[in-house]
Amino acid sequence: MIHVRELTKSYADLRRGSFVAVDSISFDAAPGQIYGLLGPNGAGKTTALRILSTMLQPTSGTATINGYDVLTQPALVRRQIGYVSMNTAVYDRMTAWEMVEYFGRLYGIEAENLCERMETIFERLQMNEIRNLLGAKMSTGMKQKVSIARAIVHDPPVLIFDEATSGLDVLVARALLKTVMELREQGKCIVFSTHIMREVERLCDRIAILHRGHILAEGTLSELAERHNESDLEELFFRLISEHDEKQHGLLATVL
Amino acid sequence: MKWANVKWIYLREVRDQLRDRRTLFTIAVLPVLLYPLLGMTFLQVAQFSREHTTPVLVLGANSLPETPRLLHEQKFDTNFASERDAKLLELTIESGLPERVALEDLPAWAEQQIQEGTYDAVIYFPDEFAQKLNDFRARMQQEHSADEAARPETAEEAIPEPELFVNTANDKSRMARDRVDSVLSRWRDSIVVDNLRDRRIPSVATKPFKVVSTDVARERSRRAAVWSKILPFIVLIWALTGAFYPAIDLCAGEKERGTLETLLCSPAERSEIAWGKLLTIMTFSMATSVLNLLSMGMTGAFVVSRIAMLGGDATTKLAIGTPPATAVFWLLLALLPLSALFSAVSLAIAAFAKSSKEGQYYLMPVLMITLPLMMLPMMPTTELDLGMSLIPVAGVMLLLQSLIEGQYLEVARYILPVMGVTLLCCLLAMRWAIDQFNKESVLFRESEQWGLGIWLRSMVRDRRETPSLAAALMCGVLLLLIRFFASFMFAMPTTWEGFAMSTVISLVAFIAVPAIMMSMLLARSPTKTLLLRSARLDATAMAALLALTLHPANVAMGVLVQKVYPYSTDILEQLKAFESVINGAPNLWVLLLVLAVTPAICEEIAFRGFILSGMRHMGHKWVAILVTSVFFGAAHMILQQSLTACVVGMVLGYLAVQTGSLLPSIAYHLTHNSLSMVMAICVPKLIEAYPGLSFLFSDGETGTLYQWPAIAVGAVLALGILNWFRNLPYEHTKEESLQEALDHQSAGLPVKS
């Protein structure tokens, strides 16, 4: 469903020259699977997911979603995905219903079908109380629900969640994770990025540990535990990151 | 592009703006309140000046003559003051000077009284004023009866001088001066009449003739003339302001609030988003303008009627009154294209801005560029002609003026160029706006510390095979600046040797060398940048042939440009000097070396080499060619030459892109310049020798021209050759390939619901 090959993104930077945010990463995610991207802040998770959602163009490498290329067929890719990120806000001056309806319209869904589908979604996400509430008056949790409703209104085969639980309290975060699991049950292919180990452990079928633009390890939780001889994910994560940093410093030391 | 999506985006944005109190305040509340408030203030001022009483001190009333009587019952006599003035001028009358004030201290004392506000004006009639008046009258009598020879000159000092003290820096005092002045001058006129009557001269003697002024303008056209200058300006200023603020909220504001990313990950295409937002901005721009117009019109009508009611003659004085209905109709019609243009420009700027605050900074530069274009048509000497009609904004305003004044013939003549230019500007601005939405560097711009040193260093360090867009722009601007300053520093040489030397040096040193140096510094592959690779021989030959076949059309275009924008006398003199210098050339070959070979090589290296290679990173080959040609045209300094050079530049750029080599462009440039030289120097002699050639050439006012059949045949052949170039496989840049792929991605999929 999602195939990422040697994906690289570098930015021009006045001081440092070019800055590589994502460095030649490759992974695959299948339907009915939650693929976790685990990494500290600045690891390149958001950049990678922005490329998958066609908001950024890769410098090199390819990524296809449901067979469509993110670089050359962005409009088609966007029809295949629902994207929820800490950067995708809801409109302040629109109610929950209006906002979801608006995006449904942009996906070209007929008015009748759209209404039916929205009723189901609002029911499932328990959003009926906030149906007529303006975005400006919503709590963070309510806004997140609206974002999810907006992302699934067109029933896309692929869903991308970028740090979707950041800033949410435990109850709301838990509800969100439950929704994500339900979406997996429906056979969606889900990419879920986070820096919280517990979420990955509870949710993800496969994970990639991302650090400074590189994938340090990739596989199912048990595969990783076996390969690195470490059953605790947090320990594994720290070990991989510090090993990588030491290696980098070592290399730099030989250069200097 | 799906118009349904544009519609949904438009509807959402309009609703969103209408729910925003700030927008509503700017577009609806402000105009509705502003004009009545201004009108009320104006009325208050008018009322004040009408009803404010003016305390005036009259000193030396005892010296006033009995007749004609100036004062009557503590007031000015109503023979000399209108009833209102007599009522409003509150007089304090003293028979002589105030106590303990000497005559020489009077000015200082009067100044103090006015400063303290006790009086607004002080009039002093000196001692024996009446006596002096009588003396003056007697002396005139004497002069009248005396012989011509014995007539004494009336001494200046014999004329009595009452003094009026006022403070013109004080509004009330100035008003007092006007009122007292008018009373005193009427009183003086009456004394003159009395004097004349004494000498039995009829009073009409003071008016030996009377100017009868008749305004031939009908009342309606007089009103139209005033409104045609004021209305477009006001409407356009509001159209611009009304576009700018919603644009900032719709783009920079959405970036700040994080909702732009939400919209960008929806299936709506960037162009659909841009169009939806553009239409919203246009709606608000027009609404602001119309509301301002309505509010201003209604307040204006009310104020004028009130002033008329107060008894003033403001309507006739100001020659206004309500604008004619047709004026308003034409105005609304012209508002459409202009508000589209302003909206597109505002949209592009607002899309570029990172935050609302940054967006607001850009308003001033936009106004600085637009205001002169709006002021130009208001200047008394500016008239609608072909040249003016090609200037954006100014052309539409002039067209509008003609429409309001009812000069429909003029309008019919220029409507096509005006609308063409406006439409072109709209499309370019829209293209720019859509490009902004496509650029990730614009959409996800982080603030970065910027310094000229760091930037220049990064340009060298991060250089790619061919120069970046920024490097190309920098080169273009640099060449123009060098050219501009060099034209001031070096005077036009008067001898052929001096001319040849300065031309070759300036082309090599100021055009070719900077471009070559920049390509070595700012590109990893200077040869690829400057397209220094061999071309197919047939392509080079075809380019030369193209120059030959297009030359008649080029010459005709030059003549047309000169008709639209005639040379100024200064330029004509320069051209004459240039001609006489050229005639000093030893032979044609040297002339061609200096004016055809050298520019062909140097200018092609700079423009089709460095600048075009950089511009092609934009991803649109035609835009790259156009921008390069604009630089090429601008480098020719003289407007008329710039316009033709710009068009020739398009062909040169096309050849460079299609062949990937500089040789065909050089061949075209060389042939083109050579033909122009040969036309100017050899063809007249040839026609003289072989009159049969006149089927090809004709003698025009501006030199030798081609005949129409030659132009037509040449153009047809040129089209064929251009088609041959079109079929050449050309090398795309990475950006151009991506753009093509994006343009060709299939339109959509069956929608799942």
pLDDT of A245? 83
Under the banding of pLDDT at 50, 70 and 90, the label for residue B155 is low
pLDDT of B599? 95
Q: Which of A88, A138, A154 to mutate to test the interface with B (most CBs of B within 10 A)?
A: A88
**How much is the mean pLDDT over chain B?**
85
Reported as a single tens digit per residue, the pLDDT across B467-481 is 988 899 999 999 999
Question: In sequence order, what are the beta bridge partners of B56?
Answer: B91, B121
Q: Which of B1, B7, B10, B262 to mutate to test the interface with A (most CBs of A within 10 A)?
A: B262
Any CB–CB contact under 8 A between B369 and chain A? Answer: no
Considering only CB atoms, B752 lies closest to which of A78, A147, A155, namely A155
Considering only CB atoms, B454 lies closest to which of A14, A53, A89, namely A14
| Closest Cα in chain A, distance from residue B547 (Å) | 39
Q: Say how many CB pairs under 8 Å bridge A and B.
A: 116
pLDDT: is B441 or B193 the higher one? Answer: B193
- What percent of chain B lies above the pLDDT cut of 70? 93
Strand arrangement of the beta sheet that strand B89-93 belongs to: B89-93, B54-59, B121-124, B163-165
Considering only CB atoms, A79 lies closest to which of B258, B261, B749, namely B749
CA B292/CA B31 separation, integer angstroms: 5
Residues A53, B265: C-beta atoms closer than 8 Å: yes
What's the CATH code, domain B49-202? 3.40.190
With a cut of 90, say whether residue B44 has pLDDT above it: no
pLDDT of B748? 46
Residues A55, B257: C-beta atoms closer than 8 Å: no
Q: What is the 3-state secondary structure (H, E, C) of B378-406?
A: HCCCCCCCHHHHCCCCHHHHHHHHHHHHC
Closest CA to B89 of B27, B17, B179: B179
CA B140/CA B559 separation, integer angstroms: 73
Residues A55, B12: C-beta atoms closer than 8 Å: no
Residues B462, A94: C-beta atoms closer than 8 Å: no
CA B418/CA B267 separation, integer angstroms: 37
Considering only CB atoms, B265 lies closest to which of A71, A83, A109, namely A83
Any CB–CB contact under 8 A between B12 and chain A? Answer: yes
Question: Averaged over A13-38, what is the pLDDT?
Answer: 87
Under the banding of pLDDT at 50, 70 and 90, the label for residue B720 is very high
With a cut of 90, say whether residue B671 has pLDDT above it: yes
The alpha-helical segments, DSSP class H, found in A14-110 are 45-52, 74-80, 96-106
With a cut of 50, say whether residue B282 has pLDDT above it: yes
Quick one: tokens of B383?
């008239």
Residues B266, A94: C-beta atoms closer than 8 Å: no
CA B346/CA B341 separation, integer angstroms: 9
Residues B262, A17: C-beta atoms closer than 8 Å: no
| CA–CA distances in Å: residue B113 to residues A42, A50, B91, B167 | 78, 79, 14, 10
- Residues B599, B605, B607, B608, CA torsion sign: positive
Per CB-CB distance under 8 Å, the chain B contacts of A90 are 259, 262
With a cut of 90, say whether residue B210 has pLDDT above it: no
Residues A147, B262: C-beta atoms closer than 8 Å: yes
Any CB–CB contact under 8 A between B47 and chain A? Answer: no
Give the phi and the psi of residue A50 in degrees, each rounded to 5.
-65, -30
Per CB-CB distance under 8 Å, the chain A contacts of B449 are 14-15
Question: Averaged over B572-584, what is the pLDDT?
Answer: 86
Query: How much is the ipTM here?
Result: 0.90
Residues B267, A150: C-beta atoms closer than 8 Å: no
- Cβ-count burial of B238 within 10 angstroms (0-12 exposed, 13-18 middle, 19+ buried)? buried
| Pick among 3.40.50.720, 3.60.130.10, 3.40.50.2300, 3.40.50.300: CATH of A2-255 | 3.40.50.300
Per CB-CB distance under 8 Å, the chain A contacts of B257 are 89, 91-92
- Long-range contacts at B389-393 (CB < 8 A, ≥ 24 apart): B389/B414, B389/B417, B389/B418, B389/B421, B390/B417, B390/B421, B390/B564, B391/B421, B392/B341, B392/B421, B392/B422, B392/B425, B393/B236, B393/B338, B393/B341
Q: Which of B9, B21, B265, B746 to mutate to test the interface with A (most CBs of A within 10 A)?
A: B265
Q: Where in chain A are the domains?
A: 2-255
Residues B16, A91: C-beta atoms closer than 8 Å: yes
CA B349/CA B363 separation, integer angstroms: 9
Any CB–CB contact under 8 A between B20 and chain A? Answer: yes
Quick one: tokens of B467?
């120069």
With a cut of 80, say whether residue B418 has pLDDT above it: yes
Residue B741: CB partners within 8 Å, gap ≥ 6?
A71, A72
CA A6 to chain centre: 18
User: Among B128-132, B463-467, B603-607, whose mean pLDDT is lowest?
Assistant: B128-132
pLDDT of B552? 92
Question: Averaged over B183-189, what is the pLDDT?
Answer: 90
- On whether the CB atoms of residues A43 and A210 are closer than 8 A, the answer is yes
Reported as a single tens digit per residue, the pLDDT across A139-161 is 888 888 899 999 999 999 999 99
Any CB–CB contact under 8 A between B120 and chain A? Answer: no
Q: What is the signed CA dihedral for B305, B308, B313, B315, rounded to 10 degrees? A: 10
| CA–CA distances in Å: residue B301 to residues A91, A231, B36, B329 | 43, 85, 11, 18
Q: Is B356 left (phi over 0), alpha (psi -120 to 50) or beta?
A: alpha
Residues B265, A73: C-beta atoms closer than 8 Å: no
Among chain A residues, CA nearest to B740: A72
Residues B20, A93: C-beta atoms closer than 8 Å: yes
Quick one: tokens of B653?
């750029």
Q: Which of A47, A103, A143 to mutate to test the interface with B (most CBs of B within 10 A)?
A: A103
| CA–CA distances in Å: residue B655 to residues B146, B215, B641, B660, B714 | 98, 62, 21, 8, 18
User: Among B228-237, B253-262, B443-452, B723-732, whose mean pLDDT is lowest?
Assistant: B443-452
Q: What is the signed CA dihedral for B418, B423, B424, B428, rounded to 10 degrees? A: 140
With a cut of 50, say whether residue B591 has pLDDT above it: yes
pLDDT of B466? 92
| Closest Cα in chain A, distance from residue B259 (Å) | 5
With a cut of 80, say whether residue B88 has pLDDT above it: yes
Task: Evaluate the omega torsion of the peptide bond into residue B68 and state whether it is cis, within 30 degrees of 0.
Answer: yes
Q: What angle do CA A76, A78, A80 make, to 5 degrees?
A: 80
Any CB–CB contact under 8 A between B742 and chain A? Answer: yes
Question: Averaged over B559-584, what is the pLDDT?
Answer: 85
Per CB-CB distance under 8 Å, the chain B contacts of A118 are none
Reported as a single tens digit per residue, the pLDDT across B291-309 is 888 888 888 778 877 777 7
| Closest Cα in chain B, distance from residue A94 (Å) | 7
| Closest Cα in chain A, distance from residue B428 (Å) | 24
Q: Where in chain B are the domains?
A: 3-35+220-378, 49-202, 468-737
| Closest Cα in chain B, distance from residue A233 (Å) | 32
- Where is mean pLDDT largest: A166-170, B476-480, B483-487? B476-480
- On whether the CB atoms of residues B651 and B657 are closer than 8 A, the answer is no
Under the banding of pLDDT at 50, 70 and 90, the label for residue B57 is very high
* DSSP helix/strand/coil, B735: helix
Count of other CB atoms within 10 angstroms of residue A121:
19
